Structure 1
Amino acid sequence: MDALIALVLIVAMFAILGAGVWIGIAVLGVAWIGMELFTTRPGGDALALTVWGSLSSWTLTALPLFIWMGEILLKTRLSEGLFRGLAP
């Protein structure tokens, strides 16, 4: 039975990707299909809680701040001065 579930989800993934849908949306769609077909819990509810739990973590806060810090260093040419100061 587990092989059948995996086969159905893989076929669904290739069908959605073959239709030209973006990879992230395709993975989200296959996850929703899997939850609707093979669990008793409503798929939309479980998917919403999972996505919210993943995106609301403090770990992801560092990434945009790190990119913003790099942009500030680039635009102010502070990094250029720092590298010039470190050069022998």
Structure 2
Amino acid sequence: MHKRYFTSIPPADGHPGLELVWAENCQPAIEHGIACAERWLVSDHSGYLWTALIIGRERQHTATERTAFEVGFLTRLQQRITREE
């Protein structure tokens, strides 16, 4: 049986957090994705969103970590752009 690792994305902007299961410890990759999205969201948007995604994604070592980074990044964006008013 494969070991399962639990990771989480904290709640934000009125949306609940998520608890996820991965095949390896991907919490650092998820947290990096969240941080990259938050930096872009508070920036002056002079840089493209896709460059923030690609640069952060390329810093991950495994395919599973890259996917985890993307999940953290995109979930934080979704939480922010669909926040409750």
Do both proteins adopt the same fold according to a TM-score greater than 0.5, normalized to the shorter chain? no
Q: Which has the higher helix share?
A: 1
Question: Which structure has the larger Rg over C-alpha atoms?
Answer: 1
TM normalised by structure 1 equals 0.34
Q: Which has the higher strand share?
A: 2
Ranked by relative contact order (alpha carbons within 8 Å, sequence separation 6 or more), the top structure is 2
